[in-house]
Structure 1
């Protein structure tokens, strides 16, 4: 049976896009689901499962999940089976926030696309002079 590869903090930073500083922060804040192993010299050694979990954390944070919610989610996962309904509630509430943000951004995008069309049309006709001119 093969021994699972152990990764240095630098390797994990490269694979996750997190800085070494951020990885230390995640560990300190209890955002990992298991303890990070250490070498006899005290260097962190991560597993593939650690990297997979961190990639999930990265996406949850990039999508705006509050740190407190991410900490709670990690705590629930660490506790093991029996709290899946609470995990689902937490993730579903976050999904609803992301959906609302996406709808708001789509509204903004539509307005911007309309305004781009207005400017493009005026420029194509050579009639852009004075378009939204606050000095005129």
Structure 2
């Protein structure tokens, strides 16, 4: 038997107690979960909300087809950059800046706040070190 094997009722009770404690910790820590959600949004890994739009992104470092990603209407441009990074093989050291109609967009605001229209293409400028 290995250390992962459950051998008796006392082991099952111990595992159940640990699970209950973990669940109670998540319920009591609602403030922590909102902080986790904000951190995930910054990283671009937050779940896509129901009001998501498809954003067509043209990367500056390649001639391949455009990258299409889903982004919530209330998500920031920084989340879009992270989603592009997740969908492509852009090096982690390279920075992705989003431009629309010749202007670099503010990463702290949403696309819609900066005048983006659904169906339009944004430019994803890949800058930085390639390795």
TM-score (norm 2): 0.32
Higher strand fraction (1 or 2): 2
| Higher relative contact order (CA closer than 8 Å, sequence separation 6+) | 2
TM-score (norm 1): 0.31
Asked which structure has the greater CA Rg, the reply is 1
Higher helix fraction (1 or 2): 1
